[in-house]
């Protein structure tokens, strides 16, 4: 066990999710999908230490996808489900694995676009770990090849919006 009691963090994450969802919806480009909510899964592997916070009314498949994303990343020993995402097979980005020595946490989000889901998962990890975005970033993306492009676009709506929700 990592020593994290995720249930102690659930209220904080639960409080943030609607704020992140609302902030994104207020500035993001419109798309063809109805965005009704987001579903998250944050878990410690090999344990029952898991929380499933959500904002509003995510679609019924969001519960499946938020979990599937982190399972797929973990199975293939990737830090991000982006590495083996294939939207044609309904396999999307949005799951992240943080590993630093004995500390390992998985975070998945579904309900928005792949980039938005991945960045919400990232914010959740900064909050649970109480680490700065830079510290968490270095452990998730050991090489820059798998980093979502929105991270490099510091003037983009995703980065500007979600960075304010990270732990500092």
> Which pTM does this prediction carry?
0.92
pLDDT of residue 82: 84
Q: Is residue 15 part of a domain?
A: yes
| Residue 114: domain span | 6-27+34-163
Question: Does 17 fall in a domain?
Answer: yes
Is 147 domain-assigned? yes
pLDDT per residue as tens digits for the range 138-159: 888 776 666 777 777 778 888 8
CATH number of the domain enclosing 77: 3.30.450.150
As for how many domains the chain has, the answer is 1
b/e burial code for range 62-81 (CB count within 10 A of at least 16 → b)? bbebbbbbbbbbbeeebbbb
pLDDT band at 34 (very low <50, low <70, confident <90, very high): confident
Q: Is 168 inside any structural domain?
A: no
Whether residue 109 is contained in a domain is answered as: yes
- Do the Cβ atoms of 18 and 11 come closer than 8 Å? no
């Amino acid at each position: 066990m990592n020593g994290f009691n995720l249930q102690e963090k659930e209220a904080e994450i639960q409080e943030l999710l609607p704020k992140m969802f609302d902030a994104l919806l207020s500035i993001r480009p419109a798309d063809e999908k109805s965005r009704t909510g987001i579903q998250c899964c944050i878990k410690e592997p090999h344990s029952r230490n898991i929380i499933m916070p959500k904002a509003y009314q995510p679609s019924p498949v969001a519960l499946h996808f938020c979990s599937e994303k982190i399972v797929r990343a973990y199975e293939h020993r990737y830090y991000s489900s982006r590495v083996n995402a294939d939207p044609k097979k309904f396999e999307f980005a949005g799951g992240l694995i943080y590993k630093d020595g004995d500390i390992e946490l998985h975070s998945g989000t579904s309900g928005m676009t792949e980039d938005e889901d991945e960045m919400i998962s990232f914010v959740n990890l900064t909050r649970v770990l109480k680490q700065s975005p830079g510290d968490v970033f270095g452990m998730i993306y050991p090489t820059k090849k798998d980093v979502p492009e929105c991270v490099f676009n510091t003037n983009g709506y995703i980065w500007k919006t979600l960075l304010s929700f990270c732990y500092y």
